[in-house]
Amino acid sequence: MRLTKEKLHQLMSDKLTKAGLKREHADIMSDVLVHADLRGIHSHGAMRVEYYSERISKGGTNTNPNFTYKETGPCSGVFDGDNGSGHVAAKLAMDKGIEQAKKNGISVIGVRRVGHTGALSYFVQQAAEEGLIGIALCQSDPMSAPYGGTEPYYGTNPIAMATKGADGRIMMMDLATTVQAWGKILDARSRHAEIPDTWALDKDGNPTTDPNKVASLVPIAGPKGYALQMTVDVLSGILLGVPFGGHVTSMYHDLTEDRNLGQLHIVIDPSRFRNAADYMKDINTSMDELSNMRPAGGNDRVYYPGERSMIRTKRSEEEGVDIVDEIYEYLISDVIHNNRYDHKDAFAEG
């Protein structure tokens, strides 16, 4: 099923509003979800709406949050999301970071007491579109066993960064510190597809291709990925005084309870380090040099980070966003949710 981005946005916003979210917040949340689906990151798009709707309707997302922001220094601040929509809080916090970085050169904003915020690429792109460098880190459910361990402790703990070139192209990375994000496995489940045997382990610690048998995700590059997970957890958890590591609650543990997650945004103004126009020109040169590099066998060309997602976005805008039929049927139905997620563990069926 292919939908225009406008139609998809409308369906998701309507569903989230029916679940109890303010229309203003539902629209922002849907902006983030459409952004993900346009880029082909369906794990963070429409497939998440039923989960969000169930949490909203059961009280686990504050539908009337008292967002507060405290500037703790010329280059720092803390945004408290009051456990409202994480997508909305993260966007507003990045707005504060952009404002502060333009004024003082750099900004580090802690975002605390929020729920799931979706694709980090959306928030770092906010900064990149303003000619700044955006960096974001966030903690997540314990789903990955530490290197040499047997039980999940850290989450997928993603990291994202984006910056813009002189011609408007954006170089971007948004990656989980596990081999693959949990949402990609949920996406495979929704499509009844297998996963590569390098993504996850079953309950016995063996590699699995069945997305329904996943019991632990694999860190990228073994001990290196494990160390990155620790770094994200310290900067977006312990630093902000929210639950960390194994104390982070599962998305599905109790949908009536707050999540209290943390996220960190860093925004840098390149003009404080060198001429901004020259900086963006060199970003362009870097992208062009990568694109013109001789590809290895089996590859059509070399893509700079974020380019494939940009290509998918343009294609989706022209041809429509590809949505699984089951998800479309849910979005157009009168059902708010099917009570599928509450009181499941971190590896709940999606």
What Rg, from alpha-carbon coordinates, does the chain have?
Answer: 20
φ, ψ at 151 (rounded to 5°) = -120, 140
φ, ψ at 22 (rounded to 5°) = -60, 145
The answer for residues whose C-beta is within 8 angstroms of residue 123's C-beta and 6 or more apart is 90, 91, 94, 117, 134, 136, 160, 265
Catalytic choice (42, 44, 87, 116): 116
Q: Phi-psi region for residue 56, left (φ > 0), alpha (ψ -120 to 50) or beta? A: alpha
Let me know if 116 is a catalytic residue.
Answer: yes
Cα dihedral 146, 152, 154, 158, rounded to 10, equals 100
Strands 200-201, 216-217: parallel, antiparallel or unpaired by DSSP? antiparallel
Residue 109: other Cβ atoms inside 10 A: 28
- 3-class SS at 12? helix
Give CA–CA dist 37/316, Å, rounded.
Answer: 8
Give CA–CA dist 234/139, Å, rounded.
Answer: 9
Q: Phi-psi region for residue 40, left (φ > 0), alpha (ψ -120 to 50) or beta? A: left
φ, ψ at 51 (rounded to 5°) = -60, -50
Catalytic positions, please?
116
